[in-house]
Amino acid sequence: MLVLTRHPGESVMVGDDIVITVLDVRGDVVRVGIAAPRSIGVHREEVYRELQRANRDAASPSDVAVEALSRLLRPPAADQPPGDEPAE
C-alpha cells in the first residue's frame, strides 16, 4: 500500500486518467474528490462489497430453481405413452 501525505487542494494521480483530490480535512474526516472516466466504476468500499454480494447471489440460483429447470429440460421417457404415469 502506498501511503502519502496530502493537504487540501492537493491531488494524487492513479494511472493516466484518475485524479484523487483532497477537498477538506476536519478532525478525522477527509473529503476527497475523484475524477475518473465514466468507464471506471468508483464506489465507496462498503457499496462495492454489497454490489459484489448481490451479483454473486443473483448468479447463484436456488436449489428449487435448479430442480424446476431440470424438470422442464428433462426429455419425456421414450417407453411411455404421453399421460401414463409409472406405477409406484
13-44 pLDDT, tens digit per residue, is 999 999 999 999 999 999 999 999 999 999 99
Containing domain of residue 69, as a range? Answer: 43-74
Residue 25 in any domain: the answer is yes
Does residue 82 form part of some domain?
Answer: no
- Residue 81 included in any domain: no
Q: Which residues contact 10 (CB under 8 A, 6 or more apart)?
A: 21, 22
The verdict on 48 and 68 lying in the same domain is yes
Structural domain contains residue 18: yes
Measured CA to CA, the distance from residue 38 to residue 75 in angstroms comes to 47
Contact 51, 41 (CB under 8 A): no
pTM above 0.85, yes or no: no
Taking all residues of the chain, what is their mean pLDDT, rounded to a whole number? 88
